Structure 1
Amino acid sequence: MAPFPEEVDVFTAPHWRMKQLVGLYCDKLSKTNFSNNNDFRALLQSLYATFKEFKMHEQIENEYIIGLLQQRSQTIYNVHSDNKLSEMLSLFEKGLKNVKWKWKPLGMLRETV
């Protein structure tokens, strides 16, 4: 089996940026003079730009990252569902039924397994 490719960290940098923006606004809110129209307008414009960035971040996650995670999850699920254990057990059971036992009857063998 080929080794898995090294994981690409698609979460740290984008989510660090989102945390950075939230922290930035905690600071801006405390420093904004809401009585001053220019200060208030600047805050609103800045918030608008930031929320557009948040929306773009979510779109990228939804279009690319979530799809890759779903694909990976499906691959992992298929690895576990695509094993042939049930088929092999059935073949062993058929084989055991057809074998003539010299020492133990088949019923006794099943009890020990």
Structure 2
Amino acid sequence: MPPLSAEVDVFRVPHYRMKSLVNRSLRRYAEADFTDNLVPNSLLVHLRRLLEDIRTHESIEESLIMKQLVERVGGLPGPRPDCWAKLNDHTCVMPKIVDLVAEITLALASTSRKVDAKAVVGATYYLVHSVYLEHIVEEEGLIMSLLLDYFNPEELVQLKRVVVNEHARSMIGFSTACCEYGSGCVGNEISFDLDMRSAGGLPFESCEEAWACLEAAVGDLRPEDLKPKITVISCQVS
């Protein structure tokens, strides 16, 4: 998909902030002193707060963007996009991740076995980053391409304005100065990819490796329907 005009890119402003927060959390992990026994729990508490912020962000997108998109595509005659089933089933996995981090926190605190707390926390951060990266890729690729196909530019400008205003109203720290179209943070891009995890010091090559670390340390906590893998989702619109 070619570069989008800032005026119609409904995800650009809120995603800028969320990518910044997630990357900042990776730096927090990379700089943590794990010789302090309080650090692992402190990092997991921070991660749970971050996830609650992400969940609020996703709730706004679901109610303001996805609802309109599903109604628009579903209300038109003719063939559905090839990815209609995926679009219609676009649900956020963040609640499951929030619960998972809570379980890991409890398991780490209650286990009597000696475990590598740095590895356990690192595996948790790796999985959170993986799941959210997959979600970001889907929204900025598949979902945005559908918005461009089914909404005209004027509608997207208005939708973006509503989305940005709701984020500013609902989310603490969402700077309205960051929401000026074409200026400030909107003109910049943030690296949010696999390389960021390496830079953050996360010692894993795959989600399966991270899951294995967690399972060895605190048991199998993985929900059956939560098996994040990094994939680039493509969609051919009929």
Counting only pairs closer than 5 Å after superposition, residues 32-111 of structure 1 correspond to structure 2 as 32-74=32-74, 77-78=76-77
State the AA in 2 paired with 1:73: V
Q: State TM-score, norm by structure 1.
A: 0.51
- Which residue in 1 is equivalent to 2:23? 23
Structure 2 residue runs without a partner (length 5+): 1-6, 80-238
Tell me the number of residue pairs that the alignment of Structure 1 and Structure 2 aligns: 73
Q: CA deviation at 1:8?
A: 5.5
Aligned residue for 1:26, secondary structure, equals helix
Aligned 8 A contact 1:18 1:54 in 2 = yes
Query: Which digits, 9 at most, give the CA deviation of each residue in 1:79-104, with x for residues without a partner?
Result: x79xxxxxxxxxxxxxxxxxxxxxxx
Aligned-partner Cα distance in 1 for 2:63–2:37: 39
Structure with bigger gyration radius: 1
Instruction: Describe the superposition over 1:7-37 as per-residue Cα deviations: whole angstroms up to 9, x where unpaired.
Output: 6543111111221122112211111122313
State the distance in 1 between where 2:29 and 2:15 align.
Answer: 21
Q: Distance in 1 between matches of 2:10 and 2:66?
A: 11
Point out 4+ residue stretches in structure 1 off by more than 4 angstroms: none
Aligned partners of 2:34 and 2:40 also within 8 Å = yes
Matched to 2:30, the amino acid is S
C-alpha distance in structure 2 between counterparts of 1:67 and 1:44, whole Å = 32
Equivalent-residue separation in structure 2 for 1:72 and 1:25 (angstroms):
37
Q: Distance in 2 between matches of 1:44 and 1:14?
A: 24
Question: Structure 2 counterpart of 1:53, which letter?
Answer: D
- CA contact under 8 A between 2:22 and 2:50: conserved in structure 1? no
Distance (whole Å) between structure 2 residues aligned to residue 71 and residue 9 of structure 1: 20
Unaligned runs of 5+ in 1: 1-6, 82-113
Using CA pairs below 8 Å that are at least 6 residues apart, which structure has the higher relative contact order?
2
Residue identity over aligned pairs, in percent, reads 33
Higher helix share: 1
Report the Cα offset of residue 74 of structure 1.
4.2
Structure 2 CA distance for aligned equivalents of residues 72 and 59 of structure 1: 19
Q: For the Cα contact (< 8 Å) 2:21–2:50, is it kept in 1? A: yes
